[in-house]
Amino acid sequence: MKKLVVLLMLLFVELMVAQNTDPLQTVDKAAQEKWVNTLLNNMTVEEKIGQLFMVQAYSTNDTINEKLVEELITKYHAGNLIFMQGTPQKQAELTNKYQALSKYPLLVAQDAEWGLDMRLKESFRYPWNMTLGAIRDNRLIEKFGEQLGKHCKRIGVHMNFAPVVDINTNPKNPIIGNRSFGENKINVTAKAIAFTRGMQRQGVLANAKHFPGHGDTATDSHHTLPVINFDSTRLDSLELYPYKELFKQGIGSVMTAHLSIPKLEPNKKLPSSLSKRIVTDLLIDALAFKGLIITDGLNMKGASNYSTHPEINLAAILAGNDMLLIPHEVPQTVALFKKAIKENELSIERLNASVRKVLKAKYWAGLHNYQPVNLKNIHTDINSNEDELLHRELVKKSITVLKNAKNIIPIQHLQKQKIAYIKLGDADNAAFVNMLKNYTKIDVISTTENQLKQKLAPYNLVIIGYHSSNLHPWKGYKFKKEELDLIQEIAKDKKVILDIFASPYSLLAVKDFSAIEGMVVSYQNSKTAQEISAQLLFGGLPAQGKLPVTVNSNFQEGFGLYTSVLNRLQYGIPEEVNMSRSKLAKIDSVANYVIKKKMAPGMQILLARKGKVVYQKSFGYHTHDSLRKVTNFDVYDVASLTKILATLPLVIQTTGNGLFNINTKLKRLLPEFKNTNKDTLTFKQILSHKGRLKAWIPFYKLTQDSITGKNIKDFYSTKKSNKYAIHVAKNLYLKSSFKDTILQHIKTAEQREVDEYKYSDLGYYLLKRFFERKFKKPLNKLVEQRFYASLGANRTSYLPLEKFPKSEIIPTE
């Protein structure tokens, strides 16, 4: 008791500085009071008692539950609902149905900590709080809260049991963990305030939970009564800190937890949610909270093991709670409440005080002007492009780099890298691997392969991805011993980047980080996290996140390295570059029409803007026989465009660094053209197609008999050799000296008489000769090293048969 007195004195000093306002009070105070008083004065005792109940409903087509909820509303006047599992559409339909049955408007609540997806299928899923805790821009957290508020409001939900403000200082916490913003009270509080501000701006009540703090527990209150043995000084400085700050900011409600806190409540068996010392003396009196107080689920063992359900329900109200979450045995509870009123154990004044707060909350949420939920377009409205855009921004700002020895991240000099990828964990990794392959050649090596060490011998970099389930935040995320051993074994001989798609707590099992050169925490194994993390590794995106919790003395809360971006493509969605997804969808229609009319068997279409690929799809098949579908990794021959696409980037680059001048005469760049009819031409004239060059020369005819049209044997061989080194087709090689023959025919070719614009491809042969001579490398090697490799364009290449299997090369005209 002395500890509680000390705590109350500490809190009183704070309250002398700032008194909390009533968060349920609306601007139109007089109208609100009139509405509340009118309803309250017209209610029977049974109806008032019913306003304290928040009963659980399901939208899973559970007819038994539907009938039960109907009975609880019509017969026992239940005034509030919490929807559990189901679908948004069905929930909205049931909400309208239940509201129509109720004499008084129902306050509808939901657990939607990371979105409606926490309970409802077919809903948008945002990142968990631990992921958000790594973000330093809290404006994004406010936007996140705002979007969740929109989603809740769209399906008729008035209260979201979020944010979780538990400060997770216990890595072994079995139920909070990823649901917490982290271990730093300042960071947790700032994010909770931002989230609350955004959500309540949409007219949806926020709820701070689990009071007075569930972050440092080793057991789960769903199954037992966790014990917190901290003194009042610790509780006031840490666990209670977010609540005090949130109360100043006007959060509408608080959820009381089922905890044993001996320093505050001497009865160790009495859950904190049922303790008058904790709910009334601490929360209401000392902390001056004037909002709605609701218990955690009374079906949880942390509460239900204490006594009978009716006795627990009564004890919760007597402790100071205003609303009972998931009360069991409602008929018996109503009878017990009436008995308690009759025997003056529960006064009418006390009952009215809670009912008044419930009604004020309903008015605040707009239920004084109730409108049924619009049942049209629900799925689209709660799964919008705006949601996906925000989700991507949240993930981008969260991913955290912990180690970057020798600046291994971002991966550079791709032409010198031979990279293998190894998957650990039991969850999907397809999005990560596919995005990695957008940048360079990645070989996926299975850990089950025999002689793994020998298999990895040719590689100088190994990316190890640890992929843990993204199903829910409390699922285990521990490395297996053999996985830890494998990481260390590989890191002895190879450069390793370890990317963790799981909680940072998973790294607690890694005892030695010294051999690992690069280490990234991507937090979750979502498709978005995998794609963005892969881009970060290759310099498409920077690392910006900071650890929300401590891993060890080297990687403490708040730690995180920034990484640079390289001149490489990013991959995203149209909204990131202010493009319309619906307009781009018309491309699909055109592509499908072309295939349907057999204009082409298939195609790839890629659209990039501002350095970001925002549309990349494949349609149809390799050939008209429809045997093999086109994928994004298949290779098309760009045919006659090659000469342009290969030479012009070199023209631009060398012009920029002063190694090439398009106004220089041809005879200076290629001396063999001196004293020819082209010696005074400049490449400015040639590339402008005003150099009077012939449109083209059919060089292939020089290798064929002019009468029969058959190949002249001297020009071709079925075997490759120094004499026949130009690969034309399968088992067909052209004479190496034919390159000089081509140049000679261009040199001696007549020019057109008229000086006018006319396309000619001959100039590109001349550029090829110039650049190969200047840099002493063949053109295909030049562009590979200078552009394709450094850009990560690993599917762009000359001589595709040297890099890709024939099955990935599509016949092209």
Residue 185 host element (H or E)? helix 185-201
Is omega for the bond preceding 105 within 30 degrees of 0, making it cis?
Answer: no
Q: What is the mean pLDDT of residues 334-358?
A: 98
pLDDT at 9 over 70: no
**Residue 595 has what pLDDT?**
96
pLDDT at 381 over 70: yes
pLDDT at 1 over 60: no
Sequence-ordered list of residues with C-beta below 8 angstroms from that of 791, at least 6 positions apart, any chain: 567, 568, 569
pLDDT at 14 over 70: no
Residue 586 host element (H or E)? helix 581-596
Report the share of the chain in percent with pLDDT over 70: 97
Task: Give the CATH fold of the 640-697+749-810 domain.
Answer: Beta-lactamase (3.40.710)
Measured in whole angstroms, the distance separating CA 339 from the mean position of its chain's CA atoms is 53
Q: What is the mean pLDDT of residues 463-487?
A: 90
User: Based on the number of CB atoms within 10 Å of its own CB, is 755 exposed (0-12), middle (13-18) or buried (19 or more)?
Assistant: exposed
Report whether 663 contacts 682 (CB < 8 A). Answer: yes
**Residue 74 has what pLDDT?**
98
Q: Provide the CB-side half-sphere exposure for 747 (13 A, CA).
A: 16
pLDDT at 792 over 80: no
pLDDT at 17 over 90: no
Token pair for 29: 């105070």
Report in angstroms the alpha-carbon separations of 806 from 129, 620, 731, 802: 47, 18, 14, 10
Distance CA 377, CA 412 (A): 46
Distance CA 23, CA 585 (A): 45
pLDDT at 75 over 80: yes
Q: What architecture (CATH level 2) is domain 2-15+26-381?
A: Alpha-Beta Barrel (3.20)
Res. 811 pLDDT band, cuts 50 70 90: confident
Sequence-ordered list of residues with C-beta below 8 angstroms from that of 428, at least 6 positions apart, any chain: 467, 525
Q: What is the mean pLDDT of residues 550-554?
A: 94
Instruction: Give tens-digit pLDDT for 224-245.
Output: 999 999 988 999 999 999 999 9
**Residue 7 has what pLDDT?**
57
Enumerate the CATH 3.20.20.300 domain ranges in the chain, comma separated.
2-15+26-381
Neighbouring-strand partners of residue 253: 207, 292
Amino acid at 763: G
Q: What is the CA radius of gyration of the chain?
A: 35
Token pair for 86: 């189901």
User: Based on the number of CB atoms within 10 Å of its own CB, is 33 exposed (0-12), middle (13-18) or buried (19 or more)?
Assistant: middle
Distance CA 653, CA 42 (A): 82
Distance CA 290, CA 284 (A): 7
Q: Provide the pairing of β-strand 732-734 with 726-729.
A: antiparallel
Distance CA 784, CA 573 (A): 28
**Residue 795 has what pLDDT?**
83
Enumerate the CATH 3.40.50.1700 domain ranges in the chain, comma separated.
399-571
CATH number of the structural domain 399-571: 3.40.50.1700
DSSP state of 221: T
Res. 3 pLDDT band, cuts 50 70 90: low
Does residue 603 sit in helix, strand or coil?
strand
Instruction: Give tens-digit pLDDT for 383-424.
Output: 999 999 999 999 999 999 999 999 999 999 888 899 999 999
Q: Return the C-alpha torsion angle 208, 214, 215, 216, nearest 10.
A: 160
Among the listed residues 519, 497, 499, 536, the one whose alpha carbon sits nearest the alpha carbon of residue 417:
497
User: Based on the number of CB atoms within 10 Å of its own CB, is 41 exposed (0-12), middle (13-18) or buried (19 or more)?
Assistant: exposed
Q: What is the mean pLDDT of residues 541-565?
A: 97
**Residue 4 has what pLDDT?**
57
Residue 55 host element (H or E)? strand 53-59
> pTM of this prediction?
0.90
Q: What sign results for the dihedral spanned by CA atoms 665, 667, 668, 669?
A: positive
Q: Considering the chain, what is the average pLDDT of its residues? A: 94
Instruction: Give tens-digit pLDDT for 279-315.
Output: 999 999 999 999 999 999 999 998 989 999 999 999 9
Residue 604 host element (H or E)? strand 602-609
Lowest mean pLDDT among 157-161, 197-201, 425-429: 425-429
Enumerate the CATH 3.40.710.10 domain ranges in the chain, comma separated.
640-697+749-810
**Residue 753 has what pLDDT?**
85
Q: Could you tell me where the beta strands, DSSP code E, fall in 649-736?
A: 716-717, 726-729, 732-734
Neighbouring-strand partners of residue 636: 810
Among the listed residues 291, 195, 284, the one whose alpha carbon sits nearest the alpha carbon of residue 250:
291
